[in-house]
């Protein structure tokens, strides 16, 4: 991995947990440029779709993420109630469109039934064990969440705890969190 590629993902920490009838996505608020914190309270987790039935979080370049949020919104309108189909179609476009191919971001998206990671390489991945993480602190948050998933802690508290652990380890992650929750369809 080149130095430029390594810098690309030093942007954030986003975590998704599906537990106890809920799906929760949380992210930190830090925006870094090199070694400088440019903003500490960015909102990297948002609700999308009609009625906010989809939660999405991004890691990577902010402008690129907003472009992807917009594209995903359009795919959700085109394929209502079909998050996986909308994401596959977005991933196809992202991989083949000359403009989109240059976007440097990853997305973690979920609705009541499905959770997925999307990347510019065409990846559409579902979670293992109901937990997924992306971004510079994603591996730390993912490890913490996996360690806590079988405890009594509820989904939102688990996300907060795991993101807090990531913030203590990753210098590109802070503890200014945005958390969004949906009731799981199975609940």
Per-residue pLDDT of the chain (187 residues; tens, 9 = 90+): 445 544 444 568 999 999 999 999 999 999 888 788 889 999 999 999 888 999 999 988 777 778 888 989 999 999 999 999 999 999 888 777 666 666 677 899 999 999 999 987 788 999 889 999 999 999 999 999 999 999 999 999 999 999 999 999 999 999 999 999 998 766 5
The closest alpha carbon to 160, from 20, 45, 21, 27, belongs to 27
Rounded to whole angstroms, the Cα distance separating 57 from 62 reads 11
Residue 185 lies in a domain: no
In a domain, 18, yes or no: yes
Q: Is residue 83 part of a domain?
A: yes
Is 105 a member of any domain? Answer: yes
User: CB-based contacts of 56: which residues, under 8 Å, 6+ apart?
Assistant: 25, 45, 46, 47, 48, 69, 72, 107, 108, 109, 110
Q: Is residue 61 part of a domain?
A: yes
CA atoms of 38 and 9, how far apart (whole Å): 16
Question: Considering the domain boundaries, does residue 73 fall inside one?
Answer: yes
* 168 within some domain: yes
Please check whether residue 184 lies inside any domain of the structure: no
Give me the pLDDT at residue 51, please. Answer: 87
CATH number at residue 82: 3.60.20.10
For residues 51 and 62, give the distance between their C-alpha atoms in angstroms, rounded to a whole number. Answer: 24
Can you give the pLDDT at residue 63? 76
3 state DSSP class of 142? helix
Segments forming the whole domain that contains residue 143: 3-31+38-175
Q: Contact 126/116 with Cβ under 8 angstroms?
A: yes
User: 12, 13, 114, 173: which one is catalytic?
Assistant: 12
Number of separate domains in the chain: 1
pLDDT score, position 65: 79
User: Cβ neighbours of residue 46 under 8 Å, at least 6 residues apart?
Assistant: 55, 56, 57, 69, 180
12 tagged catalytic: yes
């Amino acid at each position: 991995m080149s130095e430029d590629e390594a810098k690309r993902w030093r942007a954030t920490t986003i975590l998704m947990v599906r537990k106890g009838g809920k799906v929760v996505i949380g992210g930190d608020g830090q925006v870094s440029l090199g070694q400088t914190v440019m903003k500490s309270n960015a909102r990297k987790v948002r609700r999308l779709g009609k009625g906010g039935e989809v939660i999405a979080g991004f890691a990577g370049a902010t402008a690129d993420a907003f472009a992807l949020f917009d594209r995903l919104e359009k795919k959700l309108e085109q394929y209502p109630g079909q998050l996986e189909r909308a994401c596959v179609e977005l991933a196809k476009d992202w991989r083949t469109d000359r403009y989109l191919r240059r976007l440097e971001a990853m997305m973690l998206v979920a609705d009541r039934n499905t959770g997925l990671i999307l990347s510019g390489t065409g990846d559409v991945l579902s979670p293992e064990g109901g937990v997924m993480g992306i971004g510079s602190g994603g591996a730390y948050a993912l490890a913490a969440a996996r360690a806590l998933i079988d405890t009594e802690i509820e989904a939102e508290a688990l996300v907060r705890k795991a993101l807090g652990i990531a913030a203590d380890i990753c210098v590109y992650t802070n503890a200014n969190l945005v958390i969004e929750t949906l009731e799981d369809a199975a609940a």
